[in-house]
Amino acid sequence: MNPATALAAVLVDELARCGLTDVVLAPGSRSTPLALAVHADSRIRLHVRVDERSASFLAVGLARRGGRPVALICTSGTAAVNFHPAVVEAHESGVPLLVLTADRPPELRDTGASQTVDQVKLYGTAVRWFSEVGVPEERPGQVAYWRSLTCRAYQRALGPCDPGPVHLNVAFREPLVPDGDESWCEPLERDGKGPWVRARTAAPATALHLPPTRRGVLVVGDGATGTRRYVAAAGMAGWPVLSEPSGGARYGDHAVSAYHFLLGTPEFAGAHRPDVVVTLGRPSLSKPLLNWIGQAGEHIVVAADMTRWPDPTRSATQVVQTVEIPVAAGDDAWLRSWRRAETAARDAIDGVMDASGLSEPRLARDLAGMLPDGSLLFSGSSMPVRDLDQAMRPRRGLRIMANRGAAGIDGVVSSAMGAALAHPGPSYALMGDLTFLHDQNGLLLGPREPRPDLCLVVVNNDGGGIFSLLPQAALRDPFERIFGTAHGVDLGHVAAATGTPYTFVDEPGGLERAVRGEGVRLVEVRTDRESNAVLHTTMRDTAHAAVLATLS
């Protein structure tokens, strides 16, 4: 057996023993040994994508929803470079990813050889661990090295305290295809089940016990874990729960869904300075919320990894791995005040949206409200997730995810595809037109590829709608060209090019019917950027007036 085939067979076998179930492959020549080994292993589900960037974000979606490492394979050269945005997203959001980049052997590097770039530590500090595997050789001891290295890479990606991407650079000399000779200097196969090396999880950390207080708030951002326990504890303590859509805690009697408007009202924010704020995950969507957190007497950040914790406001007073929220004596005036303002703001913005026709905030609200229990909703990271944050009512039974680690618009179609492939129920995605067009190659699915049940809802305002809500909108002369970026693309034609079923919606009542169906499908909703900016201003002003009325 040639060394390239031997290494690939051992590496893939050990990954499957560790628990790997999905591999995403961007085809190429130098990665042939790995591709053949994965294709031959019935324990692994293979996904093939011709676009490396689409492939890498598909892997991010699979790993984000599945909660365990997904392997990502490519050939040498710029193919590996095209993985970089997805690796950065996985790094920032703690998604377990195993990046296996095939490479040329050392004697071909720095010689002008085709498809040869410097891949050593290609992703810099955006990976949890890097290893140059080394060119395989037929000599005793290689199998133990390969299996041990594979286990370490898998476990480091998995965490458990700090999951994220791991990069193995695998150099292969030719021949790259099996040569028919099965002999090797030591056994390549092994008996038994399970991984070569078993990593043991450290004992749970001692919890921080907070002193009892009624004036506390639980804030839940993207990527939060253990939310059910904390939401239940906050409920017992009489605390309001302020959860971003992808935080997974916007449900129950204590959920305050209009916090963006409440805390954007200075009089309310000033009258509701908390004794303590406990944050889970990475809150990042609402500037009023982030400004208000800094006013807390105590700000407890809960983070599994004590070397990396989210604190964009630099207001954390303590960082802990776990915290106990005690029940406090006293009346519920604090919670009632939040609920009263929540009801007033909610009614105000719902009234504005109901009178707005098919607006972007209404689309986000109505879509999140109508999806069946057990659904997944994958959101774009620009306006859609902010519209969900400001407009979505509390509800149970809906899993919301987004690429909020680096919060870029790239790879959302592919990430949604991956998440849908890992989700056991129906899946949906909400994104803007630029986000969709940026990753339209995510619709390229070969006839033999696993196909998810995913409805892509695309808000088409012919450009970058979020900029109309930013100070750049005042720059009237250059605005449209360098920020608005109108494209004029017919999304129906894009769908037709890939054979994707397409529906156009132009009135609110048509949305629920349009999203029905099975398989991959596209729903387009046309909106206007300037009207959307006016609507957001009206929602803010109406909500602020309603909140002020609760304080009188």
Same domain, residue pair 327 and 388:
no
Nearest CA among 255, 297, 263 for reference residue 277: 297
Interatomic CA distance for residues 415 and 229, integer angstroms:
28
In order, the DSSP letters of 397-409 are SEEEEE--SS--S
Same domain, residue pair 164 and 15:
yes
Dihedral Cα 180, 182, 188, 192, nearest 10 deg: 100
Interatomic CA distance for residues 466 and 460, integer angstroms:
12
Work out the number of other CB atoms within 10 angstroms of the CB of residue 373.
Answer: 9
Q: Tokens for 392?
A: 């979505």
Interatomic CA distance for residues 377 and 245, integer angstroms:
10
pLDDT at 465: 80
Nearest CA among 158, 18, 169 for reference residue 99: 169
Is 538 inside a domain boundary?
no
pLDDT at 202: 65
Question: pLDDT per residue over 100-129, tens digit each?
Answer: 999 999 999 999 999 999 999 999 999 999
CB 265 within 8 A of CB 544: yes
Is 207 inside a domain boundary?
no
pLDDT at 400: 98
Of 338, 372, 389, which closes a domain? 338
Same domain, residue pair 31 and 151:
yes
Same domain, residue pair 46 and 78:
yes
CB 412 within 8 A of CB 58: no
Is 185 inside a domain boundary?
no
Question: pLDDT per residue over 150-205, tens digit each?
Answer: 999 999 999 888 999 999 999 999 999 999 899 999 999 998 889 999 877 666 77
Is 163 inside a domain boundary?
yes
Same domain, residue pair 420 and 493:
yes
Of 304, 338, 372, which closes a domain? 338
Same domain, residue pair 228 and 306:
yes
Number of domains in the chain: 3
pLDDT at 304: 84
pLDDT at 235: 95
pLDDT < 70: residue spans in the chain: 201-203
Domain interval for residue 462: 360-526
pLDDT at 203: 66
Is 397 inside a domain boundary?
yes
CB 184 within 8 A of CB 6: yes
Same domain, residue pair 386 and 329:
no
Q: What is the pTM of this model?
A: 0.95
Of 171, 191, 226, which closes a domain? 171
Interatomic CA distance for residues 74 and 51, integer angstroms:
10
Chain centroid to Cα 118, Å, comes to 29
pLDDT at 472: 84
Same domain, residue pair 280 and 427:
no
Q: Tokens for 268?
A: 């309310």
CB 177 within 8 A of CB 41: no
Task: Report the CATH number at residue 507.
Answer: 3.40.50.970
Radius of gyration of the chain (CA): 25
Same domain, residue pair 399 and 469:
yes
Same domain, residue pair 406 and 507:
yes
Same domain, residue pair 506 and 403:
yes
Is 208 inside a domain boundary?
no
What's the half-sphere exposure (Cβ side, CA atoms, 13 Å) at 47? 32
Is 25 inside a domain boundary?
yes
Task: Report the CATH number at residue 293.
Answer: 3.40.50.1220
Is 438 inside a domain boundary?
yes
Same domain, residue pair 148 and 258:
no
Interatomic CA distance for residues 230 and 240, integer angstroms:
11
